[in-house]
């Protein structure tokens, strides 16, 4: 389907806490796709994760601090938090598509760890009915059965497209960035903070100050 020119990149996550890997993912695709907006969507009650430690208010505040210097306008969307029920990406993409209409290009951004689990997501094949999926993988990460389930690999292979094609169509395509050298775990960061260890290299400075100020993860 043709697009009138707008492209919105979507980045979801627990952001508990937001870290440099999230920022790098958003910045990479902001540069690659040159979207009109990066919409960051903190999870409400993610169904595949146990309870979140930081409150929605703290996670939203941290996201705003983390993404304040990207080369595109950034909007923090509380859609999933306000939903108040288990968070499914398919429901979020449907809601965003309904809000923005059929013509806008929607690019949903994920990391390599999410790519490996994509086949476990609710109605994962239907995600392509509402958005493109843009994945960032580590250097050397292979789209083979040892890394990615075969059905996911097949879908990505047949939908593979250039950034320009993603900008010019509304949904249904994929692209994989294979040179984003970021491998950071929020779980490991929380554990380090709980032990009183430094996490300066993993968390944006403003976010780290916020965590200390509000005594989070201690």
Residue 177 lies in a domain: yes
Strand partners, 131: none
Question: Exposed, middle or buried by CB within 10 Å (0-12, 13-18, 19+), for 74?
Answer: buried
Q: Is the pLDDT reported for residue 120 higher than 90?
A: yes
> In the chain, how many domains are there?
1
CATH number at residue 87: 3.40.50.620
Give the tens place of pLDDT for each residue, 13-69.
Answer: 999 999 988 998 999 999 999 999 999 999 987 655 567 889 999 999 999 999 988
Examine residue 81 and state whether it is found in any structural domain, yes or no. yes
| Cα gap 208→57, rounded to integer Å | 16
Gyration radius from the chain CA atoms: 17
Domain presence at residue 1: no
Query: Range of 20's domain?
Result: 7-213
Q: Is the residue at 148 inside a domain?
A: yes
Residue 2 falls within a domain, yes or no? no
Q: What is the pLDDT of residues 142-159, one digit of tens each?
A: 666 667 888 999 999 999
Residues 6+ apart with CB under 8 A from 172: 128, 129, 132, 159
Q: Which two tokens stand for residue 12?
A: 């979801």
- For 109-158, the DSSP string reads EEEHHHHHHGGGSTTGGGGGGT-EEEEE--TT---STTTS-HHHHHHHHH
Residue 218 lies in a domain: no
**Is residue 134 assigned to a domain?**
yes
Q: What is the pLDDT of residues 173-212, one digit of tens each?
A: 999 887 776 666 677 788 888 887 777 778 999 999 999 9
Residue 86 lies in a domain: yes
């Amino acid at each position: 389907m043709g697009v009138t020119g707008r492209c919105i990149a979507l980045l979801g996550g627990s952001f508990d806490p937001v870290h440099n890997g999230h920022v790098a993912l958003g910045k990479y695709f902001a540069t690659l796709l040159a979207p009109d907006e990066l919409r960051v969507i903190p999870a409400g009650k993610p169904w595949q994760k146990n309870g979140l430690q930081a409150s929605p208010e703290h996670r939203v505040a941290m996201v705003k601090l983390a993404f304040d210097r990207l080369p595109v306008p950034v909007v923090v969307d509380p859609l999933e938090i306000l939903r108040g029920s288990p968070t499914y990406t398919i429901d979020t993409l449907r809601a965003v598509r309904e809000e923005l209409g059929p013509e806008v290009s929607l690019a949903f951004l994920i990391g390599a760890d999410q790519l490996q689990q994509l086949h476990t997501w609710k109605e994962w094949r239907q995600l392509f009915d509402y958005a493109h999926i843009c994945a960032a993988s580590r250097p050397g990460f292979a789209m083979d059965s040892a890394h990615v389930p075969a059905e996911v690999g097949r879908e990505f292979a047949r939908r593979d497209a250039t950034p320009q094609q993603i900008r010019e169509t509304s949904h249904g395509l994929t692209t994989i960035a294979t040179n984003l050298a970021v491998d950071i775990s929020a779980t490991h960061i929380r554990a380090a903070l709980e032990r009183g260890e430094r996490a300066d290299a993993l968390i944006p400075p403003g976010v780290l100050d916020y965590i200390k100020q509000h005594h989070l993860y201690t």
